[in-house]
A = this chain, B = another copy of it.
Amino acid sequence: MELKMDREALTAFLLRDFGQVAADFAVERADADGVTLRLRVAERHLRPGGTVSGPSMFALADVALYLAILSRLGPVALAVTTNASMDFMRKPAAGQDVRAEARLLKLGRVLAVGDALLYSEGVTEPVARASMTYSIPPGAVEGR
């Protein structure tokens, strides 16, 4: 499927529509395979002990997959997260950025499904896994 928004377009979208959290994220890749999104880890993303918090990793995975949907549908869509499932597998390195490698597995008329692996800088194995489902507003996917 054709890409309607590339890395630059997604970055501009984040700044305009998600001003409050846009500074937290950097879009590193957006192509036919999916989206790579980096969480620029700051004090507010940590929990006691210096580990990146669960809600911050949830936000990273959710925004990454939301952007992956937008990259296909364009900025008109307003997808809503309906289901999220995450496995927290390893402790992220203290104070290091976390990177989500997200891929879209389905983009249907009504639902979109994708998953992501989350990597902590300096740790080879993924620290978390996420799969998410989004409800797509009527008419957003042409010709389906």
Contact = CB atoms under 8 A, between A and B. Distances in A.
Interface of A: 17-21, 44, 46-48, 53-56, 58-59, 62, 80-90, 105-106, 108, 110-111, 113, 115, 117, 125-126, 129, 131, 133, 135
Nearest to A112: B89
Given A84-B86, A87-B131, 14 more contacts: A18-B48, A53-B59, A55-B55, A55-B58, A55-B59, A55-B62, A81-B88, A85-B86, A85-B131, A87-B105, A105-B126, A110-B110, A110-B135, A115-B131
A110 B19 CA distance: 31
Contact of A133 (B21, B59, B83, B131): B83
